[in-house]
Structure 1
């Protein structure tokens, strides 16, 4: 069954003033079909299940003093509870966390409760009232793992969540190290602590800005960068810039037709309909294209590396003739039994592109046809598109549903068009998805 349509409300706010309408003694948000007495532009979507709140920014030439101050709204008894809930949700939560490192590895803690219950995360938590971020993270670390930490500076500040999520958290993430590993875990908060490489840590945490912070740590750590070994075709030089919008593309099933016995020769490589057009569209809109592919045939010694290079040379030659440039091809030459950093769903190939090509999670998409592709994008902290015929998607729907890809499409061209729409106006594109794809929700 598809998700039923939500009731849509309009949340208009500027400079702490909220526009409300009175309806039979109750102050409420205007509804979508009601005409506003001023122009607006989209500013976000808040999903509350049966109610969806579309945030709008008013285009005014004056301060609307006659509207309702957001702080005073909580003191009134004549305000619709949805209004109070939406305003409360927009209040930024502040947390302070730390990436504790030892060489190329980082310390992760496994939570007993809260948002990360049953998952690994970096040490830290919510800041107390009046507490500075530095004091907060030192307190949280001492409470969780029972040791003092040494802060080496601020790594970055992040806002968690993508457009469409109802709540946001401001995260201060620090770099640090330990003088002692005599851990004393707080049993009602932390059940385990361990050191992981960055690629593994990314697959373990569900905290969005912890993922972004882990990528930033990786890029700043010479030891972590040097420790990551990933095979690349050699299409592009190292260090070509930073923060470059990037679309990562799986190969088989996205660009070309897969084969039961693997694509092992150039003549067996067959482009899927619309794949080149989709790649060209993305390229023309400013994204660099990076192919990331697991090559089991190489892992099982069925496809020597020189032969794989010839397959990719033929593919690149055809793309060049069509005016499509691929920044780089990364491949994992290991089989499914490997515990390597580069095999999807581990995000080692995406980390390599961050190191080599300036790709960054918040400006990237991962497009693939397998659940592991969507998992890889989620691990890296970027948006994802899941492609494939409906019968294929139905087969893997149960695995992909919890991963919530932003785009679901029959093929690369359709996905590219959706990515363009989403990236040009994420609010509008999120609003289009009032009913989720049936191959995910059914």
Structure 2
């Protein structure tokens, strides 16, 4: 039986709202990848529609192609291939409007029974109706979801994101505000519960990227929320002012230095992993700020005092300085695994502390770790994640980590740094493509 030949990719070329189509009999379609284009193009994404791959490309033109087909015009025509309409519809930006309602250091969250956030907690809000502005939209959504009359206190941010499993991008307006009353009336077919949470806890409960980014920006602007978060640090950035600089959070044991049975208890126990210093230097040379975030059960179980932990970090920092590597700060959790504290990973308290002290923004940050809880921490904060470790180590946690979908998988910090900085052209603010990998997951 002859094998079915794969269909060639279709090429979606668009600029300034004009789409390049080719005639096919009595109709119009996208050009195929095996057909030449009369102009140069650059790649701009890939979509898949039931086995039909559509490659989006940006043309390099020095004029506006008025003779092409307007994207809005496509939907009124009957002579255009349905794949064209589907691809154009997919690339249309959706708009949502949400609000962070606060009471002291806590924020109000709702638990959804349907939609993208089904089974998760979220902040009140949703898609804007036709002809509706973002402020009117979020006021309507709050009234519908929780029966609350809200007053908006200002715009926290405007964010854009692709959602997991969704090819379309969404524009999110997130406001801060307060409710006139706490007598909430829940929308029975959409909301099953409502509760107040601290920022660090709320971040672990939501899967909505707009909620995550909005919560962090709210935290950065809320003195009450900042005062309520208590996280230990080495003190390198004690007098530093917050600076908007791309940042890489690094776990310590297993990423920078070798872990030990019975913990790293003395400065002499510090042994840098192969490629760790080179990786840190690569990140630094590309403009990334380095921040170490580490759970230290050894202090939590009182096996060493915190002053001994400080000596260990002093030795590590001195060795790194000799290699030209500067660490902005070390945040550490001195509690053991049974503690319910804000600072212990996978809670993102240490990352929030860096947002407060250093000005870190999750959209310009990575979390690099060797354990699933490191990836959970990065996801909670709303930043990208990299998982490092030997193939045998990764095999041990493969199933658990697969669900966390790290953006980079690598054998070492050196390889992770190369993947993170790939395509940045020396500018840390430019993001590499998601789900790149220094090595595939075994």
Matching residue within 434, 437, 442 for 2:440: 437
1:416 has 2:412 as partner: no
Instruction: Report the secondary structure of 1:218's partner residue.
Output: helix
State the match for 1:396 in structure 2: 397
DSSP 3-state at the match of 1:362: helix
> Mean Cα displacement is larger for which, 24-33 or 256-265?
24-33
Give the 3-state SS of the residue equivalent to 1:326 in structure 2.
coil
- The aligned counterpart of 1:35 is 36
Q: TM-score, normalised by structure 1?
A: 0.92
Give 1:373 shift.
0.7
Q: Aligned equivalents of 1:87 and 1:175: distance in 2?
A: 33
CA-CA distance at 1:88 after TM superposition: 0.6
Specify which structure has the bigger relative contact order, considering alpha-carbon pairs within 8 angstroms and separated by 6 or more residues: 1
Q: Is residue 236 of structure 1 aligned with residue 245 of structure 2? A: no
Q: After alignment, is 413-422 or 275-284 more displaced?
A: 413-422
Structure 1 portions without partners, runs of 5+: none
Residue 163 of structure 1: CA displacement? 12
Q: Distance in 2 between matches of 1:59 and 1:128?
A: 36
Range with bigger deviation, 24-33 or 232-241: 24-33
Compared CA separation, residues 261 and 29, structure 1 to 2 (3 A): farther
Deviations along 1:8-38, whole A, 9 cap, x unmatched? 4432111111112345665333344543221
> In 1, distance between residues paired with 2:435 and 2:289?
27
**2:381 equivalent to 1:374:** no
Matched, 1:340 2:341: yes
Counterpart residue number, 2:80: 79
Change (3 A) 1:277 1:432: closer
CA distance in 1, matches of 2:247, 2:49: 31
Distance across 2 between alignment mates of 1:41 and 1:358: 34
Once residues 257 and 436 of structure 1 are traced to their aligned partners in structure 2, the CA distance between those partners, rounded to angstroms, is 21
Residues 1:266 and 1:217: Cα distance change in structure 2 (over 3 Å): same
CA distance in 1, matches of 2:424, 2:257: 25
Q: Would the aligned equivalents of 1:42 and 1:428 in 2 still touch at CA under 8 Å?
A: no
Map 1:29-428 to 2 at 5 A: 29-46=30-47, 48=49, 50-161=51-162, 166-421=167-422, 423-424=424-425
Return the alpha-carbon distance in structure 2 between the equivalents of residues 71 and 84 of structure 1.
10
Task: Name the count of aligned residue pairs.
Answer: 434
Task: Supply the distance in 2 between the matched residues of 1:163 and 1:428 (Cα, whole angstroms).
Answer: 18
Alignment partners' CA distance in 2, 1:30 and 1:216: 44
Residue 251 of structure 1: CA displacement?
A: 0.6
1:351 deviates by 0.7
1:26 to 1:292, Cα distance in 2 relative to 1, 3 A: farther
Question: CA 1:385 to 1:301, structure 2 compared with 1: closer, same or farther past 3 Å?
Answer: same
SS at match of 1:244: coil
CA distance in 1, matches of 2:311, 2:32: 59
CA apart distance, 1:322: 0.4
Q: TM-score, normalised by structure 2?
A: 0.92
RMSD: 2.4
> 2:72, 2:362 → 1: CA distance?
35
